[in-house]
């Protein structure tokens, strides 16, 4: 399995996905993960039965991320070749375009079949293809879907997107959702010291967790804040995450006069995110484009009612009015209305949080996902 992200290197949901999936699969098959190095992390270790190889990748300045990704592939390719020449593998599993070059090269060199998980598409992330930079990534994604024997998408929305964009036969695509570990994400006692760090005792907390990039729609959430504060002045908005839009979002909150009520945590540890999930009254997932939305699932498993955009994978995770509230994407008024509704009605919050956790546990366990993934692997060898 090749992935550029693996804990402790976490940029988006990909690292968590590969970490949990590999642990779940390792109970049935021998699995090796080839990934990028990270300061302080071991070069070789066993994690839940999966063998993790962290490779020293190209670290000199690059003109841009795409170029760096190609040089990173050179390092992963060399490591992958050495590994495949030492032991026999039955399958290469590629996660996203970032490692496609190394995966396809190993496939052709060794004849080992290739499976690819497409976690999102460049066209979806950028609302279309507008530059040569984006076009190259788009073409790499299409090429990967052609070279792979099976494609995995994490929601039906992504199945439709990938099939439509790259003209992939439907019977080549498997829909296997992301999962959540109910032992890690569960309702817990409130950490008072953590709460005091972020909010006054009488304030309610509205939480956002995710990258600060345009497709996540954090600007839409900030646009809703004045209306929420009008109805619920004692509310604090905690924005967890990092990204190139942070300064723009900070300016937006200042220009709307709500900056004293918005706290940008920047990057925080996993434990602190879990602690924040225990404090939140509502989590908002305002994405404009969202292939799956693992943060929504983690909130649901933690027993937090969610307000989520009715888009992509979020539409499939959230049962509107039962496990959370769905709102049209890119609509601040709708977010404000839904958040105000939840903040005003503690009985509704309580019933939704209970059902949200029940649904997360019933539909999105890593064991079920590992079952599907190994079935998908087997399907390649069954003629």
Partner 1 sequence: MLHALSSRDGRVMALKKVLVLTPEYPPRTLGNVSINAHSVSRRMAQDGILTSVVTFDDWRPGETVEEGIRISRIASPIRTFYSILTWTPLITPEFVKASSKIIRGEGVDLVLSFEWTTGMSAMTIRTIHDLPLVCTYHSVESQRNPLRDSPISQGISYLEREVANAAELVAVTNDDTAKILREEYGISATKIVVTRLGKDVGSLISICRQAVEGHESANA
Beta-sheet pairing, 32-36 with 282-285: unpaired
Q: Using an 8 Å Cβ cutoff, are 148 and 108 in contact? A: no
Residue 14 Cβ, how far from partner 1 at the closest point, in Å? 21
Query: Is the peptide bond preceding residue 8 cis, with omega within 30 degrees of 0?
Result: yes
**CA dist., res. 333 & res. 132, Å (int):** 36
Q: Which is nearer to partner 1, 61 or 169 (CB)?
A: 61
Beta carbon of residue 264, minimum distance to partner 1 (angstroms, whole number): 30
**Closest CB 96 distance from partner 1, rounded Å:** 16
110 lines the binding site for partner 1 (CB under 8 A): yes
Our finding on whether 108 is near partner 1 (CB under 8 A) is yes
Q: How many angstroms separate the first and last alpha carbons of the chain?
A: 23
CA distance linking residue 215 with residue 94, whole number of Å: 24
Q: Is 91 near partner 1 (CB under 8 A)?
A: no
Residue 233 interacts with partner 1 (CB under 8 A): yes or no? no
Q: Which of 46, 85, 255, 344 binds partner 1 (CB under 8 A)?
A: 85
Kindly list the distances between the CA atom of residue 66 and the CA atoms of 97, 139, 212, 380, in Å, as whole numbers in the listed order.
10, 13, 19, 31
User: Would you list the DSSP string of 63-120?
Assistant: SSHHHHHHHHHHHHHHHHHHHHHHS--S-EEEESGGGHHHHHHHHHHH---EEEE---
Judged by CB, which is closer to partner 1: 63, or 233?
A: 63
Q: How many residues bind partner 1 (CB under 8 A)?
A: 34
Stretch that binds partner 1, among 104-112, 164-172, 183-191, 348-356 (CB under 8 A): 104-112
Shortest Cβ distance from residue 131 to partner 1 (Å)?
9
78 touches partner 1 (CB under 8 A) = yes
Stretch of residues binding partner 1 (CB under 8 A), selected from 77-85, 201-209, 245-253, 343-351? 77-85
From 66-74, 252-260, 339-347, 355-363, give the range in contact with partner 1 by CB under 8 A. Answer: 66-74
Q: Which is nearer to partner 1, 143 or 156 (CB)?
A: 143
Q: What b/e sequence results for 178-194 when a residue is b if at least 16 CB atoms lie within 10 Å of its CB, and e otherwise?
A: bbbbeeebbeeeebeee
The reply on whether position 145 binds partner 1 by CB under 8 A is no
């Amino acid at each position: 399995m090749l992935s550029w992200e693996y804990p402790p290197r976490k940029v988006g949901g990909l690292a968590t996905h590969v970490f949990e999936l590999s642990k779940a699969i390792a109970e049935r098959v021998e699995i090796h993960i080839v990934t990028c190095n990270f300061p302080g992390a071991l070069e070789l270790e066993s994690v839940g039965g999966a063998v993790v190889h962290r490779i020293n990748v190209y670290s000199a300045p690059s003109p841009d991320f795409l170029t760096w990704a190609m040089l990173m592939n050179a390092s992963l390719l060399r490591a992958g070749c050495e590994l495949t020449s030492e032991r026999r593998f039955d399958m290469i599993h590629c996660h996203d375009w970032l490692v496609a070059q190394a995966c396809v090269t190993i496939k052709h060199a060794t004849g080992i079949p290739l499976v690819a998980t497409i976690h999102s598409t460049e066209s979806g992330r950028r609302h279309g293809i507008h530059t040569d930079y984006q076009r190259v990534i788009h073409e790499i994604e299409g090429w990967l879907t052609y070279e792979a024997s099976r494609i995995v998408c994490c929601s039906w929305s992504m199945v439709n997107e990938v099939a439509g964009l790259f003209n992939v036969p439907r019977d080549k695509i498997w829909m296997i959702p992301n999962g959540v570990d109910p032992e890690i994400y569960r309702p817990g006692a409130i950490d008072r010291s953590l709460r005091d760090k972020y909010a006054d005792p009488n304030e309610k907390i509205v939480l956002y967790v995710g990258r600060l990039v345009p497709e996540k729609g954090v600007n839409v959430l900030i646009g809703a804040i004045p209306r929420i504060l009008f109805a619920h002045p004692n509310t604090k908005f905690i924005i967890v995450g990092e990204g190139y839009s942070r300064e723009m979002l900070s300016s937006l909150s200042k220009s709307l006069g709500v900056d004293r009520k918005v706290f940008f945590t920047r990057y925080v540890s996993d434990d602190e995110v879990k602690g924040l999930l225990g404090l939140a009254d509502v989590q908002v997932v305002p994405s404009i484009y969202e292939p799956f939305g693992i943060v929504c699932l983690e909130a649901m498993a933690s027993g937090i009612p969610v307000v989520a955009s009715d888009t992509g994978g979020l539409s499939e995770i959230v049962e509107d009015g039962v496990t959370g509230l769905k709102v049209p994407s890119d609509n601040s008024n709708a977010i404000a209305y839904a958040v105000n509704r939840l903040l005003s009605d503690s009985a509704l919050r309580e019933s939704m949080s209970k059902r949200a956790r029940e649904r997360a546990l019933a539909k999105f366990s890593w064991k079920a996902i590992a079952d599907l993934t190994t079935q998908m692997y087997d399907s390649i060898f069954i003629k």
